[in-house]
Homo-oligomer: A and B are copies of this chain.
Amino acid sequence: MNINKLEKLIKLLRYYILVSTSKAGSGHPTSSLSAAELMGVLMFGGFFRFDFKNKENPFNDRLIFSKGHASPLYYSLFTVANAITENELMTLRKFGSRLEGHPTMEFPFTEVPTGSLGQGLSAGLGMALVSKFLNKTNFKTFVLLGDSETAEGSVWEAMQTASFYKLDNLIAILDVNRLGQSRQTMLGHDVLNYKKKAEAFDWEAIVIDGNSIKEVVNAYEKALKVKGKPVMIIAKTLKGKGISFLENKENWHGKALGEKDLNLALEELGKVDVKLRGKVKLPRKVVLKKQPVTSNLKPVTYSFGETIATRKAYGNALVRIFPKYPEMVVMDGETSNSTYAEFFAKAYPAHYFEMFIAEQNMAGVAFGLSRQGKIPFISTFAAFFSRAFDQIRMAQYADTNIKFCGSHAGVSIGEDGASQMGLEDIGMFRSLLGSVVLYPSDGVSTDKLTEEAAKHKGVVYIRTTRKETPILYKANEKFPIGGSKTLRESKSDKVTVIGAGITLHEALSAYEELRAKGIFIRVIDLYSISPLDNKTLKKAAKETEAIITVEDHHIAGGLGEAVAAALSGSGKPVYIMAVTKMPHSGKPDELLEYEGISAPAIVKQVKKVIA
């Protein structure tokens, strides 16, 4: 270990942090300066192992900046590692640059995009699971955390889960620089309090002066030897470290230095060698054995006359399709006997991880798994995915491949009442750029759509129903994403009724009743709510007088609004039937009736429309 060279490299990091943010005219230099030793020693002190010529090497260590606003330090590290040029560093925060305000997937070395605090440790946990249990690649995952973000509960979810799985390949580095955005953090510089908390969560805690190169070196040496539990290096640092008028001072968060201040700062920093570059250790291995793939799956075997809850069909589908998609990893938020993820847990226990009642962490772990080439399928009650909306929101920026399955959708769950009813989930998942939202109505379509989800690269949401429903489709029917099924159609169709999930069955009952009275309606199963089957919708708008949508969900962001927006140019009205009254406990049928989304309500609405 050449401490003298490390010193010079770290000084160069400080120089780049200051210069690049001043050039950008914004950014977070002081939050970057505090962690310069922590990251400089990690990268150039022989601890972090990474092959810059092959960033896809599955044995590479992983580095996540959970405090994403320290991106000037992050990009400076890669500059000093000679992975990007100084010229590129100076494009920081400019439109078109790969170096955005917070690390994004545009930057080639970003493991997961950060910027919404408290998410990085969960992603690191996902990677650590891959390294320890799934690929057994034995790399280390390092996560740089800010002290402010430990106020986020998601950090403690990850802490608890990481020690439950004894992830001794996960190393968190806590940069305790005392100052948040607008004031001192709750714990200030009380590093012993952080230590107490980390140890209570069954982590090994190493407390150091994080601005002392020697102490940082010792900490990594110690951390890499710990067995049987994750490690947190708790580093007391100074925000703005190295520049006296920034050091430990309030009101400098998120501010770049103007020209005068920059010159003062650089003068204080002293001479740096901008040609100096640091060396990063290579990983131990490069080749990973591929998982065997079975291309022929067992067929779907549901048949007419059977009934099965789509949530149960989801569990069966996971088991059926795994041999073809061996990168699948299934997780659940301690509801696996309700979502039926338990079928998979029993069939393939090595590929199932219980995530307990911590949905934010579950989504964050899925992030990390996905970034390592896995296909995570995660499930809980549809309502409880709202807990992880910020993580789900970030997933759209992460080039992720996560499959969410929300069971217990809508008022049709019955007696458990409103708190357990997913009534905003379609809107939530539709609101992501490029997301796929699937809502099967029977066992066959659930099975096929679960496989479509596995096949599709991206974020997919599958909405399942608690109640049993009859099989509607032949076992060999196909269900492409973006499609729909027209189940009832004739030349005499007056109105089109569109349903999905539980309401499709209500629509089919309404069809029977209306047909008996000589009124014909078209019935469409809109199993793909995003993307929409615009062609079929437009055809229906052309051939019938009006469209009625029926959904077990609130209006805003739901199936009805999606259809109304898609058909706004058609000249045909779209009548939205949805959950508009405060739901209560009761039998499923009582609640469908109460909310006006039952078969009788549809019959009434059709009659009103054609009157």
- Using a CB–CB distance below 8 Å, which chain A residues touch chain B? 24, 26-27, 68, 93-97, 100-102, 104, 106, 113-118, 148-149, 151-157, 160-161, 164, 180-183, 185-186, 193, 196-197, 199-202, 334-338, 342, 354, 356-361, 383-384, 386-387, 389-390, 392-394, 397, 415-420, 423-424, 427-428, 430-433, 530, 554-557, 560-562, 564-565, 567-569, 571, 573-576, 580-582, 584-587, 590-591, 594
Contact = CB atoms under 8 A, between A and B. Distances in A.
A153 B565 contact: no
Contacts of A569: 573-574
Contacts of A416: 26, 101-102, 115
A401 to B, nearest CB: 16
9 contacts: A100-B418, A100-B584, A152-B157, A180-B334, A181-B334, A397-B418, A431-B554, A560-B565, A569-B574
Given A152-B157, A182-B342, 7 more contacts: A149-B357, A181-B335, A182-B336, A359-B390, A423-B431, A424-B428, A560-B565
A467 to B, nearest CB: 14
A7 B153 CA distance: 39
Contacts of A562: 556, 561
The 9 A-B residue pairs with the shortest CB-CB distance, nearest first, are A153-B153, A115-B419, A95-B586, A557-B557, A200-B200, A569-B573, A430-B556, A156-B156, A101-B417
A508 to B, nearest CB: 24
Contacts of A197: 200-201
Given A417-B101, A433-B582, A151 B567 contact: no
Contacts of A557: 427, 430-431, 556-557, 561
Contacts of A590: 95
Nearest to A399: B582
Given A334-B151, A356-B148, A585 B97 contact: yes
A318 to B, nearest CB: 16
Contacts of A393: 383, 386, 424
A358 B148 contact: no
Nearest to A393: B386
A153 B360 contact: yes
A365 to B, nearest CB: 13
Contacts of A555: 565
A556 B529 CA distance: 11
Instruction: Pick the most buried of A148, A386, A586: most chain B CB atoms within 10 A of its CB.
Output: A386
Nearest to A589: B95
Contacts of A160: 151, 186
A472 B338 CA distance: 54
Nearest to A565: B564
Contact of A554 (B334, B433, B580): B433
A161 B62 CA distance: 32
Nearest to A413: B101
A546 B401 CA distance: 39
A396 to B, nearest CB: 8
A102 B419 contact: yes
A359 B387 CA distance: 11
B357 A118 contact: yes
Contact of A389 (B386, B430, B585): B386
Contacts of A417: 93, 100-102, 104, 115
A567 B565 CA distance: 10
Contacts of A567: 568
A501 to B, nearest CB: 17
Nearest to A153: B153
Contacts of A117: 357
A183 B341 CA distance: 13
Contacts of A361: 153
A188 to B, nearest CB: 11
A113 B424 CA distance: 18
Contacts of A68: 419
A424 B430 CA distance: 10
B116 A591 contact: no
Contacts of A565: 555, 560-561, 564-565, 574, 576
A100 B338 contact: no
B338 A181 contact: yes
Given A180-B334, A384-B390, A568-B574, A358 B418 contact: no
A602 to B, nearest CB: 18
A201 B100 CA distance: 36
Contacts of A93: 415, 417, 585
Contact of A571 (B96, B424, B560, B571): B571
Contacts of A342: 182
Instruction: Pick the most buried of A24, A161, A183, A199: most chain B CB atoms within 10 A of its CB.
Output: A183
A424 B431 CA distance: 6
A361 to B, nearest CB: 7
